[in-house]
Amino acid sequence: MKANNIFFGDKLRLARLLNGLTQQQLGESISASRQFVHQMESGVKQPAADVLNALCEALQVKDSFFAGPVGNDVKFEQCHFRKRKTTPVGIANRVLAFSTIFEQLVDYINERLELPIVNFPVIGHSSSCYSNSEIELAAEECRKMWGLGLNTPIAKMTRVLENAGVVITQFNGVSEKVDALSLNRKFPIIVRNDAKESVCRMRFDLAHECGHFVLHDGVETGDHITESEANKFASAFLFPRSAFINEFISAKGSRLNWKLIYKLKIRWGMSVKAILYRAHHLDLISAQQYRSGNVHLNKTGQSKIEEHDEDIQPETPELLIHALEILRSQLGISFNHIADYLGVDPSMLSTITGVIPENEEYLENVTPIFG
Amino acid sequence: MEEMPWELNPDLTRDRITAIASLIASKRGEVIDLHDEVLGDTPRSLGMRCYECCRTEINQVADSKIWPWLSKLTPEGRFTFCIENTPVRFSRNDPKDLPNKKLVTSFETQKQMDWINKSYPYASIRWFIVFDTFFKNAADAVYCVGYTEMNEIVCQWQIPLEDKVTLISEVNASLPQPVNVEAAPIKLKRQPQQKNSSTDES
């Protein structure tokens, strides 16, 4: 950046949060004081050329990153965020910064490619919360709209949502506290934590976020009521009531039929914990059975990773990878070019997208056609 | 056993029981939102916090007189509130396994029950709002339960805090194979055509 270029302090804040640093930590890494970092972020002071270089290196961005305003700052209340009340501010801010940059990337892709049209049912609803029946109907409406039927397991949850226009990405290393979040501004986006090892949990997370898109557009979420609604939606969407009655009914009895429950888990790609939740919600098992089932899972070390998790087909987001591939192969826009456009290092873009580019070097000399 | 609480005790109307159970369930939900295992929270801390916050909430509502039928009887210790004149306690447990110590009444409750003993034939019943729920859930099932002096259940009514989902199913439905959705389609945006001057001239 030339000395006469404008330096936008809010971009410095964004880059700092993206890297999960406090002002103190950033100051230490560039040999400056916390106060000076604060003044740069507030726009009171501009960095000298050597400080700017240090900032770029410490924050994995290019100097062009600071040359424009943020423009699309994602706000906390715009995100559907579980465990909102106990998520430390630093972690929440980092995830929001991540979402802000990711949204810019989707915007860039959307300018060049035709992404699937956003297609969610509109649920007319006026009161502040939903009844169980309304949630059930909303999930069934979604299934009907997307041609999934009401008796069929979903092989790939990621594909279902990507076909409905959702862009999904995964991140790792931020915190186990944030399992997944979603935002529905310009585009519906789901950011999920890669640290989760269970495919079932990931599928449930995606259905949960889908529930927020359908039920909570414009509603601030994160409390036990809205999260419970999204959970009910997720279980109804993954395993509709009509199918559940048909297939779970033989498990009914004084004792839980674990063999059948695990069989259902493998067939429907839904965790045992979620199946028990669903069975209790539909009044097919008693509160005592539900409680003892959960206690059993806890005692047998299955509270996070369950038996037969490995029997569920793993899923990864495809839309984003496919889009980056088309940009590269058909428009000659390489991963590095996109990183340049966003003003971040390719390594940072890789963190944001979860994509590790292959054979990018040879493209460095190619000039993009529509970049 | 099938008699409803309000049939055994006219103070315990359906609306009042539901209102107080909803209040406790809502407060439990708020506390669970704040449960933080990373910070060091445990099932025990969650249970204690839920109990204390619910107790405070009931005391505050009783003080506010929003519900004229609600009052405090034993605000500390063996916390007991009154619905009209009937002492009631709350607990998270399996109604069948409520610990004996929980069933011991407070001094004020005993006095109150002695006083109302002359009014109702079932005045010796000790009433509880019981949350039969997994510790991390607000309310899986909530009951209004009446216990005799011998600690036997004489009434157990499940309080309907949420609507029940109607169960519908296709008759003789087979087990269809999982639906496999194709990958989402993406294509290049059509670029705006540039005006070709030579074509125009011709």
Domain boundaries, chain A: 9-67, 74-244+312-371
Q: In whole angstroms, what is the distance from residue A359 CA to residue A303 CA? A: 41
CA distance B3 to chain A (A): 20
Q: Which residues of chain B have pLDDT under 50?
A: 197-202
Residue pair A107/A186 in contact (Cβ under 8 Å)? The answer is yes
Contact A326 B167 (CB under 8 A): no
**Alpha-carbon distance A152 to B181, whole Å?**
12
Is A159 in CB contact (< 8 Å) with chain B? yes
Chain B residues closer than 8 Å to A287 by CB: 132-133, 140-141
- Say which residue the tokens 């009531």 belong to: A241
CATH number listed for the domain at residues A9-67: 1.10.260.40
The pLDDT value given to residue A365: 47
CB contact under 8 A, A116 and B39: no
Best of A224, A288, A292 to disrupt the B interface (most B CBs within 10 Å) is: A224
Identity of residue A269: G
Query: How far is residue B185's CA from residue B121's CA, in Å, rounded to a whole number?
Result: 73
CB A317 within 8 A of CB B186: no
From A275's Cα to the closest Cα of chain B, the distance in A is 15
What is the chain B residue with the closest CA to A222?
B33
Q: Which two tokens stand for residue A164?
A: 């409905």
Instruction: Give the per-residue pLDDT at A133.
Output: 94
Inter-chain residue contact B36 with A156, CB threshold 8 Å: no
- Strands of A95-239 (E only): list them: 113-114, 167-171, 180-184, 188-193
**Nearest residue to A208 (alpha-carbon basis) of A183, A184, A243, A180:** A180
Contacts of A151 in chain B (CB under 8 A): 170, 173, 176
Residue A288: predicted pLDDT: 83
- Cβ contact, residue pair A116, B185, below 8 Å: yes
The pLDDT of residue A217 is: 87
Please give the Cα distance from A7 to A39 (Å, whole number). Answer: 12
Which residues of chain A are modeled with pLDDT < 50? 1-3, 362-363, 365-366, 369-371
A298 touches B at CB < 8 Å: no
pLDDT of amino acid A363:
47
> pTM for the full model?
0.88
Exposure string for A50-80, b = 16+ CB within 10 A, e = fewer: ebbebbbebbbbbbebbeeeeeeebeeeebb
